[in-house]
Every structure is written in structure tokens, then in C-alpha cells.
Amino acid sequence: MLPFLRRTLRGASFGTLALVLAGCVPAASPASVSSSARPPQAATPAVGAERPSTLRVGVIPNQAPDKVRAQYQPFQEHLSKTLDQPVELFVATDYAGVVEALASDKLDLAYFGGLTYLQAERRAQLYPIVTEVDRETKTTRYYSAIITRADSPIQKVEDIKGKKFAFGDINSTSGSLYPRLMLDQAGLSDFTNPSLFVYTGGHDATVLAVQNGTVDAGGVERRIMNRLIEAGTADRSKLRIVQEMLVEGYPWCVRARLDPALVEQITSAFLAIKDADLLKLMRAEAYARVSAKDYDQARVEAVRLGLVR
């Protein structure tokens, strides 16, 4: 195994990596969403011809950055070997860092949450190509959940009124956008009140904050909570799901200026991943094609709830 990458997005150098990828679908204009409901988006991506000698890959820190680096090291090695070229891995210190890097043409391929992809499409020429088939749902969608302590009096989302609630990163899809949507549907929307709503920075921190009673409830990605429980970091007997919603999977996105032939190689490599251990590390059952239209619901709600402007 290559040594773990120790530099964040702000670093100047990165570990060499190789990547297997699959399925290429150009971004589609989400026609089913009214233009007034959509955030301003980047112009239709122009076909490019760039073939970088080193593929620069960015990953959002949906858990602590060190955990993400460890998770993607085998992927790094696998991709480097498969594409027969070096790959640089960027793990930002926050979600916005990956958006900034792609918008500045410092990345070629990036793994976003749905919300960070929607933020990035306003500022950069990019489009989604694939997402993982979730190991829990066996579809391209996964669960965002509102959780509380098992012994909490909270039985439904409405019961959270007046209590302390934790989001993860403000730009997280399942740790911020969809919990807001569930709270909003229950009539709770005073999200700027710091005495009621706080940010932990990540799903793992939110799970522990709920378990320890630091907050009364929180929004998390359910599969990350389950992995923390399996690892012994969190205790299932102390946690309870109040409500959950399905979310379209994290998209892998490419810069529009990349040579379409290279994009096809990348996407085809994703779809071709069969190694069970690698898929497990990638939290995937397999990979499937996605397009911009698959994120229509998130696009509309992100604008309505003020997370994309």
C-alpha cells in the first residue's frame, strides 16, 4: 500500500494515485424544474480536449479528513494502475474547499455530495458521470436521517421544537440539506438561531454529539452512523432514528474541458469495478450512471432553503 496522503487541499503536493472509473453521461438540463426554482447554473459545458498527464481528484471530507484519506488510499492505488498515469488526491478541510478547487481548474475529477455538486455547477463547467449503488438500499439513493438519543422524549420531528439540533457541515446534503427539509416540513425553520441549531462539521461528530447528549437531535447520513456503530465508535442502543429520507447518491463529476475520450475511460473504469474489497471501501455495491436531472429535487430544495443562491 502507498503511504497515506497527508496533505489537504491547501497543500502544494499530493500522493500519486490511480483510479478505476465508469459510466459517462453528459449533464442534462433539468427541464422538469422551473427556471425560477433553479439556482443560476454554469453555461452548458463545452466539449473540451484536455488530457492532463496527472489526473487531479478531489474528495469531500464527509467524515474526518484523515479517515477519508485512509478510505481512498486503495482507490488511489487502483486508479493509478488502471489508468496507467499518476493521480493526485485532494481531501479538503471542508466541503467548500473542493468546490473552490474545481471552480479554479485545480481538479479534473471530484467526488461531491449532491448539494456541493449543485453549488459547484453555478461556478464551474462540470457534469456528473456516476454514483455508487448503495450497499444498504441496493439503489443509487441512500438515507439522510434525523436521530436522537434512545431515551429521548422526542418521538417525531415536531418534538424537536425548542431543542438543540446539530447539522454536520453546512454544505452537506444528508447532514444539512435534507435534515433542513424534514425540519421545515414539520414547521421548524429558525436555522439561524445559534441557541437551537449548531454545526459539528461532520456526520461522525454529529452522531457522537447526539449520543453524548451535547445536542438533543441531529441530521446525519445513516450509513455513516451504521459504520460508526459497527466500528464500536457509536452505540446503537443509545441512538434512535426519528425520521429519514432518501437522497440521490454522491456524484463523481468531471471538468467539461476534459477530452470526452478520457471521460469515457474514467466512467467505464468506474462501471467495471468488480473487486469486492475495493467496492466495500468505496461504500458501493457497484456504480451507475447519473446526470444533472437526477438532482432536480435537491436543486429545488437547496434554493428554497437558502443553501444555493
Q: Set out the domains of the chain in order of their start, with CATH numbers.
A: 1-134+250-309 (3.40.190.10), 141-247 (3.40.190.10)
| Pairing verdict, β 126-134 and 165-167 | unpaired
pLDDT band at residue 292 using 50, 70 and 90 as cut-offs: very high
pLDDT band at residue 47 using 50, 70 and 90 as cut-offs: low
Q: Could you read off the pLDDT of 156-215 as tens digits, one per residue?
A: 999 999 999 999 999 999 999 999 999 999 999 999 999 999 999 999 999 999 999 999
Question: Whole-prediction pTM value?
Answer: 0.77
Give me the sheet containing 109-111, strands edge to edge: 87-91, 55-59, 109-111, 252-255, 126-134, 284-289
Compute the distance between CA of residue 149 and CA of residue 16 in angstroms, rounded to an integer: 42
Compute the distance between CA of residue 64 and CA of residue 92 in angstroms, rounded to an integer: 10
Compute the distance between CA of residue 273 and CA of residue 253 in angstroms, rounded to an integer: 17
Say whether pLDDT at 66 is over 60: yes
pLDDT band at residue 16 using 50, 70 and 90 as cut-offs: very low
Say whether pLDDT at 129 is over 80: yes
User: Of 143-147, 156-160, 274-278, which range is least confident?
Assistant: 274-278
Say whether pLDDT at 61 is over 60: yes
Say whether pLDDT at 14 is over 70: no
Say whether pLDDT at 294 is over 70: yes
Region of 283 on the Ramachandran plot (φ > 0 left; ψ -120 to 50 alpha; else beta): left
pLDDT score for 288: 97
pLDDT score for 93: 85
Rank 68-72, 73-77, 118-122 by mean pLDDT and report only the highest. 118-122
| Pairing verdict, β 109-111 and 252-255 | antiparallel
pLDDT score for 2: 34
